[in-house]
Each structure stands twice: as structure tokens, then as C-alpha cells.
Amino acid sequence: MGYTSGQRVLVALFKAVNAIIPWHKLPPLIGALNLLALRDELREKNLYDTYPTEDFQGTTKSDPIVDTKFICARNSDGLHNDLERPKMGCAAMRFGRNVPRKYTAPPSDHDLMTPDPRLVSAKLLQRTEFKPATIVNLLAAAWIQFQVHDWAQHTNSQTKFHHIPLKADDPWPENPMKVAKTVQDEPLDEEDQKSMAPLRRPLASYVASITLDVDRIEGEHFLPRGHDGIPKTGFKENWWLGLELLHTLFALEHNAICSMLKTKNPSWSGDEIFDVARLINCALMAKIHTIEWTPAILPHPTLELGMNANWSGLLGPYWSKLFSNFGKSEAFTGIPESGADSGKTPYCLTEEFVSVYRFHSLIPDDVAFFKLRTGEHTSNIPIQDIAFENARSVFEGPQNLNFADAFYSFGINFPGAITAHNMPSFLRDLKKPDGEHLDMGCVDILRDRERGVPRYCQFRRLFNMPVPKSFSALTGGNATLATELSQVYDGDIEKVDLLIGCLCEPLPKGFGFSDTAFRVFILMASRRLKSDRFIASDFKDEIYTKEGIDWVQDNDMRDVLVRHFPDLRAPLKDVKNAFAPWGKVGRSEEYRGVQITAPEK
């Protein structure tokens, strides 16, 4: 597609500026323009299709619409979101890349295991003490998993394994440690012989894979469960109470939208109501993610302006609505209805996107639970005891909490900070219901290497970012951490894994995660909206109904929570962002545990 002349000027201008001043130290409006320039440059230089030709995205002849309702409705597998390239972004397609494929070659056995991924997990990821992220609440941790836990899933082999040799004193019960290999797509050309081409699982990039049924049991609404005790959702392998809460909440929201549509359109069939309600619910979630979750975890004035611009444009909601009568512009009126455009590269999620969203450090060791009506602290429950089939346990037995209690508890608990030495022991000794036993720290490192994700320094080069020349420079002068890195990576900074570098680099002021990860974020977050026909082109009354558009534009996460759990009004009364720590009510202030108490500075 290439730059427009205006984009070329903006990119060149801010390249010169950023050589002296980084974007996050500029005044907010200028910084927001800087982010636009960064995004334009990344769109031009950091998007790569992993298919030989665009024909693999499907055509109207090879993949015709079998039901014309999908012209105006989402398909659960993502087919026909793009009417000309019907398979683009849909289930079971390949992951794309944010770096040229020549840099994504499969590693040698030596490179795959160097340094030992188990050693990296133990020395650099293992939580030594809980470091809280005090700018957000535990719902923020659950939310990002709720958003991406299905998009980012690969297909793992049932028969082929990596074998990680362990030291004699390693307490792991099996030596070597076994980790299933990632399944690769069948090679389609010579390039595939040299580079990785993993497949996504059969879940679409555009559609939230939530179940939309709820059962009412003793006054509470619960998701229907399978024989394994886990709800019947589109994806459930990493289930815990955080996902239980959010899946239930947005199933209830879907049903509320259905009721509204039924009232406004009494002649509609059940399928019509369902399809439009799903459009509205998905758009509302996309908006919440864009202008609420992101500014919560990246509370920087430039980011708040920039993310709001993604949805409402630099003009803001009022002026955007006024000026939209004269035409839509992504920059000035926002991405919705500005016209879908995936640029020169077909839309897909990327391996590098998956890599920088490895946020396992967000998970705390345990959750402190409280009664909402009194604020009374009832218990601290380890994460493993509210995971998988036990996710519902707090609503049963001696705990006897309700959903409002659980949401309130998540609203005042802190997640972990996204930093080194902060992955919970539970995830480093994860026992899944199917019998699989994993050290997720070890797996995170192994997966990036296996899938050809460049290591930290090379990654920054390929994203046009400066590369640290020493471990001290990488850590921002943290001598202890620099020494640990040097010891693990044998003094070679080029060997530092992407995840480790992102966890060790100093953060821009107010940021919850690294600037390196953020570069992928600003590229892919806006791209997901811009490539989605139902957001970027068809976000209009004719598709959503006027009431549907109003529902999306007039509601936020706080509205959704209070609509279904009215008692949450009290802790949310003075809270501007539902992902920031909520107000404590009643006796909650008496509890001084680390789960809800910020460390003294």
C-alpha cells in the first residue's frame, strides 16, 4: 500500500524527534501524533503474511457464502468477515509475523535449549515475593485472558514432544521434562521449508468465544457445565474464577441486549435477535478493551488520548459525531465506520503478538475474598483452588459468596506486576485436569524459541528500536538484575529471550508493561479493529440497529457490571475506570493483606 505523502512526512518528522525525545515524554497531543507515526511505520514495515499468495485467504469462488445472513452477521468461525477474502482471520488459519520470515527459522536443538529454559524459569521468572500492580485490579488480569485466551492458541502435537533434560537435584517428578511440540502447517512452498508456519486452533480472531446460555440456580446465574465440571465455552483449557466471572457477565449482557432487541423488534426471529445481539456485545467488548482496559494498564496521558482516538478519533466523541456527517477519517473520527482496510498484508494474529502477551505474572498467589454488603474479609484462597473445575467453589460450601461478592473482591485485589521474578509458583507447577504437568515459565521460553520468535535484541532491531549494549543498559541500571541476566545468558546479551528482556527493561512512566511489547500492541490492537468489517465498515444502524449502536456507544464496563449486579454501585461510585482499583466498603479497610494493600513507597 505504501505511505501517503502526509504519513511519510509524519514518520520522518518523529524519527528525528525520537532520536532526542521518546514519544512518552512529549506533551500528550504531540505524543499522540507520534504514536500515529509509529503505527503507520509499523503497518508498513512489520506485517508479514505466512502464506505464499493471497489466494490462500479464499475467494468468492473458492469459499462462497452458503448463507447470506453472514453478509450482516458474524460467523462463529470468522468466515466472510472480509467478503472478498473470506478465510482471512478465520479459524484454523496460520499465524502471521511482525518480522520478516527469514528471521523466523526453526532453531537448532542447541539454540532451542540454550540457555536451559528450566533455568531461565527458575532464575528469572520464579516469584520471590508478590510484587503487586497497584494501578489496576484483578479484573484487569482476568480481562486480558478473557480477550485473548482463545485467539492465541496453537495446536499442539499429541505424539511429538520436546524433552528438556533436568539437573539431578531438580524436584520435577519426570526427567526429562516433556512439552508437546507445536504443530506446523504442511509446507506450501520453499519459504515454508525455512520458516515456521504454526496454525491457530479452530477459533476465530474476531468473535468472542463465550457461551451465551446461563442457568439460574438459587438466585444466581451460572454457565452450563460439561461432565468435567468446566463451563461449555469456546475455549476452556485455562479456566479459573476470573474467566468464570467475565464469561458469565457477558452472557448476561448478551441476554439483556436480546431483551432490548425483542422489545424494539417484536417480529424478529430468535436467530435475528441472537445475531444482532452478538454484534453489539462483541463491539462493546472491543470498545471496553480499547478505551478502558488499555488506559488502565497503561495510565499515560498520551495513551489515553491515543486509545480514545482509536475509537472516537482525535476530535473526541462529541466532535467526532458532529464531523462524521462530513465523512469518516480514522485519525479524526476513529476506526468505527472509517472503512475496513488490512493494508498490503491480509489480517491475521501474529506469533509476536502472542509472545508479548505472555502476562502470566499478572496472576497472584491467592485472592482475598470479601462480603460486599459488610466489607468483611472471609478468606484467602490460593489460585489453584479456584481453577479449572473448582472455579465455582467460592459460591458453594462454607464460602457461600455470590457473584457480586466475587466481583467486588476482584475489584479491590491487585494482580501481579508484569516484571521479572513474579510468576506464581502455581503456574510453574501447573497440573491440568487432563493430567498434563507444566512449568509455564519454562513453556513460555520454549514456545518463543520453537516458533522462531527473535530474541530480545534482534526483535528490537526489527522493530526499529535502539538495542541495549549491556545488561546494565537493558535493565536501566539495575545492577542485581543485570548480574542475574549475565549469569543465565553466559554474558551474551544477544541470547536474552524476548519475554525476559520485556520483563527486565525499565518501563515508561505509568506503564504496566514494556515499551518493546507496546510496539506490537499499538500495531495489532488498532489493526484488529481496522480489519474487522463489522467495526470498521458496518458499524451502522442498518446492521446493528440504532438502539444497538447507542448501546455500544453509551455503555462502559461500569455500566455492564452495575446492570447485572446493582449492589456494585457502592464500590464503583467514585471509580472512573472499572479496571482501576475500586473503592473499599465497610470493614474491608481493616484488612491489610498484600492482596489489597499497596506497599509503602
Residue 377, strand partner residues? 370
Say whether 563 sits in a helix, a strand or coil. helix
Which set of grid coordinates corresponds to residue 271?
A: 436467530
Q: Where are the beta strands (DSSP E) in 128-219?
A: 156-164, 177-182, 215-217
Residue 94, strand partner residues? 199
Give residue 164's region: left, alpha or beta (phi > 0; psi -120 to 50). Answer: beta
Residue 416, strand partner residues? 132
The answer to whether the Cα torsion of 12, 14, 15, 20 is positive or negative is positive
Give the residue from 311, 289, 89 showing the smallest Cα distance to 207.
89
The active-site residue out of 24, 149, 247, 254 is 149
Instruction: Calculate helix-pair angle for 270-288, 546-554, nearest 10 degrees.
Output: 30
Give the residue from 358, 74, 76, 56 showing the smallest Cα distance to 202.
76
How far apart CA 351 and CA 357 sit, in angstroms, is 10
CB atoms within 10 A of CB 380: 16
Which set of grid coordinates corresponds to residue 44?
A: 508498513
Count the alpha carbons within 13 Å of 436 in the hemisphere toward its beta carbon.
17
Contact partners, residue 483, CB within 8 Å, separation at least 6: 471
Residue 350, strand partner residues? 96
- Contact (Cβ atoms closer than 8 angstroms) between residue 195 and residue 518: no
- Contact (Cβ atoms closer than 8 angstroms) between residue 368 and residue 408: no
How far apart CA 258 and CA 177 sit, in angstroms, is 49
- Contact (Cβ atoms closer than 8 angstroms) between residue 598 and residue 132: yes
Say whether 198 sits in a helix, a strand or coil. strand
First to last CA, the chain: 50
Give the residue from 354, 407, 74 showing the smallest Cα distance to 234.
74
For residue 502, how far is the Cα from the chain centroid?
A: 16
For residue 118, how far is the Cα from the chain centroid?
A: 25
227 is an annotated ligand-binding site residue = no
How far apart CA 424 and CA 367 sit, in angstroms, is 13
Count the alpha carbons within 13 Å of 454 in the hemisphere toward its beta carbon.
17
221 tagged catalytic: no
Q: Catalytic residue numbers?
A: 149
| Residues of the binding site | 360
Q: Binding site for heme b: what residues are annotated?
A: 360
